[in-house]
Structure 1
């Protein structure tokens, strides 16, 4: 259905709820509220409730047809305790009735009744429509809307009890099995294709465009950061010197302090913890410089070596991309030595990884065989669920569905029970009660 037709069908100014997986319908569901009744007569309230609910429950059915289907008897069940039924026949409920001895029993019964959940009878107003074949197809998640389910039936893609059924208004009986063509189900519930000749879905195409946009933004940011820090890298390369070449301890300490300060001042991607460690290192170097005169030469060399090791340990925790070039080169040799020490342990792990990768590759190939890329299909491949499906992905209790063969069994008619009505509806019980009163009076 074109976008203009969708907007006209749902409308955004005055929300109209439909039996559809459309994102517009999902938005209207979030805006749904019980209409105000303070300024309306009882007749207006009933008419408004009727128009709202009929717009959701099969608006394509003519009103005169629905009024003939309407049934004032709302099916409901009351769960009974089988142990109580086996122990007594219920005659003890009448003991002392009329003699003043049933006062305590009445209080207990009233307290228990308050604890019980109420049965939402009014939600069963449209229960005859749940027997329709197109409604059952939509409830079984074989179509994205009742209109699409109706189209599947009319086009001959649905069978009931093994025979092709062309009437969407066929009323199912308990035990009837209906089956929908799997290709039609995959088209109805799968992602939409971006192009008729391609296999990519609209969602994948949007994700690909977003990924490209992020990559271009990241490249631009890296280029800007590289231009800002080019001068800093050149200064650090000129100042970098090996520890053996540093004869003056004071100059060596100043170089360590300057390296830490330059890394902090540069526009690198450093975490807050690394910045704290670098600041603490700079304070330690300044304290060492202030006490340099009272320390012997051997202790000075040991202190400088310890500070270099500390700086190397801090920089080893920083990502490689966040370091200047000279710092990254200095860390490469240390990391190479650490990797050489772990070579023996990794050798034992490689076999496990290889076996696991082979299993993952085998599973991926199996999934590719089961869900291949085929541009000739009317839906996007490899198949994936349609967008905005999860909000509507539920199956009523009166249906038993097998998604593998796209078939379902209509077990029984829907009923109301305490705290639950098996006819799904987004409207409040008051709205459904007004609707029931409208049709009850007109009968």
Structure 2
């Protein structure tokens, strides 16, 4: 972890971590007093302050380990999506539209407008964070191979992650659709016994705390059956309070028996749903105000010397 105080209670900024401290901060931002601080409906703050707070919260979760200057230059899409709804004026002169051959086009536009009015707009503002989700360390964390994105970075840097069958130690790499990552099972803390020395050094619960049973066994099984089947199953030990965070995004195809995953495609969004995991409403004020901040703070044009310093960006699987 880059900063020992990154999970401080004073800031209460949710991070990519399954730590109990992070879960508490997430609860405070969702339900406790800190939730009112990001409700800007009747806020005395200026628009600049609202955008600054929203940008800080979004960046605190989505890539706080990325330098802000590097984030604006390389991890924002070329064109930020427009989060403001637009109303298009549709022609009502049927004879003129038929003469001009625009009948089919207008029918599609009317159907799209009615669908948007019925379902709402897609939360495209969250797609400005899609480049962060492509990072190999973030992808390892999303696939539940690490307890936090900071630990996922250590796995990559220490050579415990393979990219398409080859050791890859650059945590800044952005994956391409079709790329496969494999994690060394010995480095995955979920597969270690809580009482082991390595698990205790990583902050796992000690032998005095209750242990999670091996995957596939229920608590109703008798002790004799547990003893006979324990050796044939892989122990899977969840971290404390991890159940609200265990999920797999739709763009990842994970195989836990082989400790590997495939980055199937880039994240997408549709009305009422976004594939970008975020602790904030994907179409809420925080994401929209953060989008407005970066829409005004656009990065400069990239020169040839800057392009040479771009973090590895894989365009096609295998290249």
Contact 2:194–2:237, Cα closer than 8 Å, also in 1: no
* 2:240 aligned with 1:401: no
CA–CA distance in structure 2, aligned partners of residues 112 and 75 of structure 1: 19
Contact 1:157–1:184, Cα closer than 8 Å, also in 2: yes
- More relative contact order in 1 or in 2 (CA 8 Å, sep 6+)? 1
Contact 1:175–1:410, Cα closer than 8 Å, also in 2: yes
* 2:55 aligned with 1:26: no
Q: 1:23 to 1:97 in 2, by over 3 A?
A: farther
CA–CA distance in structure 1, aligned partners of residues 198 and 111 of structure 2: 68
SS in 2 for 1:125: helix
In structure 2, which of residues 214, 231, 253 is the aligned counterpart of residue 369 of structure 1?
Answer: 231
Q: 1:9 to 1:192 in 2, by over 3 A?
A: farther
Q: Which whole-Å deviations, capped at 9, do the CAs of 1:225-256 have from their partners, x for residues lacking one?
A: xxxxxxxxxxxxxxxxxxxxxxxxxxxxxxxx
SS in 2 for 1:202: coil
CA RMSD of aligned residues (A): 3.4
CA–CA distance in structure 1, aligned partners of residues 134 and 38 of structure 2: 29
In structure 1, which of residues 51, 71, 76 is the aligned counterpart of residue 77 of structure 2?
Answer: 71
Which residue of 2 is the match for residue 49 of structure 1?
Answer: 54
Gaps of 5+ in 1: 77-92, 209-358, 373-381
CA–CA distance in structure 2, aligned partners of residues 112 and 9 of structure 1: 42
Contact 2:157–2:169, Cα closer than 8 Å, also in 1: yes
Spell out the pairing of 1:122-271 with structure 2 (5 A cutoff).
122-185=125-188, 187-188=189-190, 192-193=194-195, 202=205, 205-207=208-210
SS in 2 for 1:10: coil
Which residue of 2 is the match for residue 83 of structure 1?
Answer: none
Which residue of 2 is the match for residue 17 of structure 1?
Answer: 14
Give the greater-gyration-radius structure (CA): 1
Shift of 1:203: 6.4
* 2:275 aligned with 1:422: yes
Contact 1:190–1:386, Cα closer than 8 Å, also in 2: no
Q: 1:430 to 1:361 in 2, by over 3 A?
A: closer
SS in 2 for 1:142: coil
Shift of 1:73: 3.3
SS in 2 for 1:169: coil
Gaps of 5+ in 2: 30-34, 83-90, 98-102, 212-220, 299-319
CA–CA distance in structure 2, aligned partners of residues 171 and 197 of structure 1: 30
* 2:286 aligned with 1:431: yes
Q: Which range is displaced more, 172-181 or 107-116?
A: 107-116
CA–CA distance in structure 1, aligned partners of residues 115 and 198 of structure 2: 62
Q: 1:97 to 1:406 in 2, by over 3 A?
A: farther
Contact 1:50–1:438, Cα closer than 8 Å, also in 2: yes
Contact 2:17–2:149, Cα closer than 8 Å, also in 1: yes
Between Structure 1 and Structure 2, which shows a larger proportion of helix residues?
1
Q: Which whole-Å deviations, capped at 9, do the CAs of 1:15-56 have from their partners, x for residues lacking one?
A: 111100001111111111252432111111111111111111
Which residue of 2 is the match for residue 62 of structure 1?
Answer: 67
In structure 2, which of residues 277, 288, 296 is the aligned counterpart of residue 441 of structure 1?
Answer: 296
CA–CA distance in structure 1, aligned partners of residues 196 and 222 of structure 2: 30
* Paired positions, count: 258
